[in-house]
Structure 1
Amino acid sequence: MSLIPETPLLFYPQLAAALGLEEAVMVQTLKAFLAHGEVENQHGFAWYEVNADKLLQTLPFWQANDIQRITNNLREQGILLIGAQTFQQGGRFRFAINEQVGNTVSAPVTASPQQNSGLSTAPTSRATTAITPAPTAPIQRAQAISKGWQPENDLLAQLAQYGIPLDFALEQVGGFVTYWTERNEPRYSWGSRYLKHVLRLWRKQETRS
């Protein structure tokens, strides 16, 4: 029997640097489900519902609590939208990538998750490792925040999912932009940084009240 019976998963190195290796693999896996499944367009986003056990079969190196942790991390970073229920073994997992339909970046896949429980995404090769970086990717470069930066409506909607009022979220924009303008540090996603910032301040306010 071959030492590499399945074809490898692919991930973008720059995406892994921005989000984390686990998160990058998860994003590409979920994009594969979206690319080959019947999605539901809702409020400009492509939603898909997958059997949780199917996702576990596709990613056999993770346990259910790992997938729950990684998908929750992606939600907190503003990358993933999750339905009414977080990932639970034996249930249904409804999700969408936080990007408008029509502006998506194609995932480097060549086969449907339904066709191969190992999520075949490249030709089988004995010289290929279990996870192989994709050669190129149109990933956004890290850049410093602009003085006129404002959160997009989708990001504000994501904060609303956490029960954070719109006025509270907007009140934090000025201080957030000033702080990071002074630091002049490049980031891949100012939206995810802002999301974490507002969540932290909101939770701090809740503990005081």
Structure 2
Amino acid sequence: MRWLALLGLAALAAACATDPEEREVHFPKGESTPCERPDPHPALAVHGPGVLSSSFRPQGPGRAVETARLAGAVYLQIRHETCTRNSQTFRFYLPKAELLSDGAASAYGRAADLIDSLAAAGGAGAPLRELSAILSLQAAKGAHAPPFGTRLELGEFQELLVSRSQADETSAYGTVIVVVYRLKV
């Protein structure tokens, strides 16, 4: 038994004595492809009537985060992605006091109202008003509104997804409505 312990110590000493460079594992570095699409632009460059304040922060090539305080104590975060896929994720954090019914239609309706409040007058707000109209159509279906997470096809190259969750108990907010708009190209 003693010889096994001595053999183990000798192997450990030999391993420690070798050059650390020889023991390192080197993984090949992947090639990063540069983002060939333009950087994102603020969705709220021109404020709609429901926007109290907003900020836009680039997060690296093809990514940005936009935040806004909205009327009714609603907080909005928009994540922009233009490199791997072209998408905007709107997260509306509703105040705890605001209660929505359990059905998907109420979330579609509230999301439509919120997005409509972001839209500026005139042509600058047209894309947001169009998105709001699509959400309003889903809300009008009432009990037949698509379940959360359903991909709503907006023609051949666009899709929309809506989900709903609860903020954690320590948050100042209650319900979170998430609207994801994607170009499929």
TM-score (norm: length of structure 2) = 0.27
Higher relative contact order (CA 8 A, sep 6+): 1
Q: Which has the higher helix share?
A: 1
More strand by proportion, 1 or 2? Answer: 2
